[in-house]
Amino acid sequence: MRAVFAIPCSASRIALLDSSPVDRMLANFFLGVNSPPCPTKFFTSRHLAVAWLQSAADGQAHPASA
């Protein structure tokens, strides 16, 4: 995961999506010790993840992650 985020990209946001508690723990750890190149959040809901990604283009407030 660390190597992937070290590669420059043109993404304005990154949504990590999974339902595993282990993946949530790993994502939270990674996000706590690294600085992703753009806003990055972990979601368990595809709907909330897509809404959050789209809110950047719409200029809306960020929906809470699940």
Q: Structure pTM?
A: 0.67
Instruction: Please name each of the domains of the chain with its CATH number.
Output: 14-66 (3.40.970.30)
Record the tokens describing residue 38, joined without a space: 């753009």
What was the pLDDT predicted at 28?
A: 87
What was the pLDDT predicted at 9?
A: 72
Residue 64 to residues 1, 9, 10, 34, 41: CA-CA distances in angstroms?
23, 25, 24, 21, 10
Kindly give the confidence (pLDDT) of every residue in the chain, 66 residues in length, as a single tens digit, with 9 standing for 90 and above: 556 656 667 788 999 999 889 999 998 898 888 888 888 999 999 999 999 999 977 664 444 444
What was the pLDDT predicted at 62?
A: 46
